[in-house]
């Protein structure tokens, strides 16, 4: 006899949520996996150790997505730190064990900042209009990519766009599903879908005993912690708030940190809240009922677990999709979130100018001192808002 919790899960699950979870993992993996691979190689990881990195990261993201989403019945999507991986590429020259030790320290700092509530207290000071404007700025590029994809794959991207528009009117719950199916069918028919290159094999975890040096502490651990908090967790919290979910931020970050600490010796260099991919699971395309959207994050977690089990060889599966298909489906899946974010950001006339500045700075892609545009967009908008209040 199935339990009440099991029946509730089956009732809340849906095909749109399953597809949203798949698109979340597809976009996250296809857009940045190569950076993670390069970071591992730069630090001297062998092929077996690179596979272990993917095992640890996939297991960590899967466990946190599933566990936290089921715990709070709200979509909680985690990701690896892409800016952190990019920073690691320039941090070669140290023994891999020192880098692993730095990963552990950075994860411990994230755990402490999370459970202490310090980060959440800081986040609460950010007005909703600025958070929504930052989210719109982060996602703008993905919306534009739908039309950028038409430059090289006009037939595919245009057909996907047309199916989405028709689907939003005729069958809104399945518009994104139909769009993805049409894209895959066109790619297969045109010979740009190369599934024959995907050969899956189980990954084996490789434990590296952590060591630490002053160079690793100041060259990797502290910068990785700062970049992850500013460029990943800050936008991640803004996405959650802008989507209308009251996820308890402090324990969420704390438990993500705990999982990160446990998996760091196997290559989990940095786990954090997702921003762009989280928006896919929190939008209307994932599920019309906001209270059931947590299942999209649960499905994303299941797909991340599969990535972890099969390690680096999963890269071949996602590489089989043409980049134009990934660009188009990501942008289309985020249309609703972009529109809602812009509406929220510009609704209050008194905050419209600071929100606009936040949006423009974030959308510009500005990066300074290794910290991405989302942080600088919020900083510029907050400074403008503070200046205006003092002038009044």
Element (H, E) at 79: strand 78-80
Element (H, E) at 363: helix 352-364
Among positive and negative, which fits the CA dihedral 328, 25, 45, 265? positive
Asked if 284 and 75 count as a contact pair (C-beta separation under 8 A), the reply is no
State both tokens at 233: 């967790």
Asked if 29 and 307 count as a contact pair (C-beta separation under 8 A), the reply is yes
Sequential pLDDT tens for the chain (392 residues): 455 566 566 777 788 888 888 888 877 776 667 667 778 877 888 878 888 888 999 999 999 999 999 999 999 999 988 777 766 766 567 888 899 999 999 999 999 999 998 888 877 777 778 877 877 887 788 788 888 888 888 888 888 889 888 888 887 767 777 887 888 888 888 777 766 655 667 778 889 999 988 888 887 787 778 778 876 888 888 888 888 888 899 999 999 999 999 999 999 999 999 877 888 888 777 777 888 889 999 999 999 998 888 765 665 566 677 778 877 877 787 787 788 778 888 887 778 888 899 889 888 878 776 666 777 888 888 888 888 777 76
Between CA 380 and CA 358 the distance in angstroms is 6
Rounded to two decimals, what is the model's pTM?
A: 0.72
Element (H, E) at 144: helix 128-152
Asked if 385 and 128 count as a contact pair (C-beta separation under 8 A), the reply is no
Asked if 97 and 240 count as a contact pair (C-beta separation under 8 A), the reply is no
């Amino acid at each position: 006899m199935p339990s009440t919790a099991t029946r509730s899960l089956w009732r809340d699950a849906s095909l749109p949520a399953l597809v949203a979870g798949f698109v979340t993992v597809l976009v996250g993996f296809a857009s940045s996996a190569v950076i993670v691979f390069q970071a591992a190689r730069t630090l001297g990881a062998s092929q077996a150790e690179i596979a272990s990195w993917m095992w640890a990261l996939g297991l960590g993201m899967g466990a946190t997505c599933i566990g936290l989403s089921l715990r709070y019945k709200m979509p909680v999507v985690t990701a690896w730190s892409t800016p952190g991986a990019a920073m690691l590429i320039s941090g070669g020259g140290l023994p891999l064990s020192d880098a692993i030790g730095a990963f552990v320290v950075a994860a411990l700092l994230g755990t402490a900042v999370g459970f202490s509530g310090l980060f959440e207290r800081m986040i609460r000071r950010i007005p909703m209009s600025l958070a929504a404007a930052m989210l719109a700025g982060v996602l703008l590029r993905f919306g534009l990519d739908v039309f950028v994809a038409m430059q090289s794959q006009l037939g595919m991207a245009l057909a996907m766009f047309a199916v989405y528009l028709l689907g939003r009117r005729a069958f809104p719950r399945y518009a994104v599903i139909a769009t993805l199916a049409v894209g895959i069918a066109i790619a297969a028919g045109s010979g740009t879908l190369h599934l024959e290159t995907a050969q899956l094999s189980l990954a084996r975890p490789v434990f590296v005993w952590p060591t630490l040096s002053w160079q690793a502490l100041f060259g990797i651990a502290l910068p990785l912690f700062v970049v992850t908090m500013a460029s990943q967790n800050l936008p991640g919290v803004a996405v959650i708030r802008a989507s209308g979910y009251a996820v308890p931020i402090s324990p969420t970050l704390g438990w993500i940190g705990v999982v990160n600490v446990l998996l760091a010796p196997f290559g989990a260099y940095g786990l954090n809240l997702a921003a762009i991919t989280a928006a896919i699971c929190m939008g209307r395309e994932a599920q019309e009922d906001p209270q059931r959207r947590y299942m999209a994050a649960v499905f994303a977690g299941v797909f991340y677990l599969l990535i972890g089990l099969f390690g680096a060889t999963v890269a071949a599966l996602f590489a089989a999709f043409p980049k134009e298909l990934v660009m188009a489906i990501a942008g289309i899946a985020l249309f609703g979130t972009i529109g809602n974010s812009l509406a929220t950001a510009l609704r209050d006339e008194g905050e419209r100018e600071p929100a606009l500045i936040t949006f423009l700075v974030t959308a510009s892609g500005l990066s300074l001192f290794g910290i991405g545009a989302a942080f600088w967009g919020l900083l510029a908008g907050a400074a403008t808002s503070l200046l205006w209040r003092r002038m009044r």
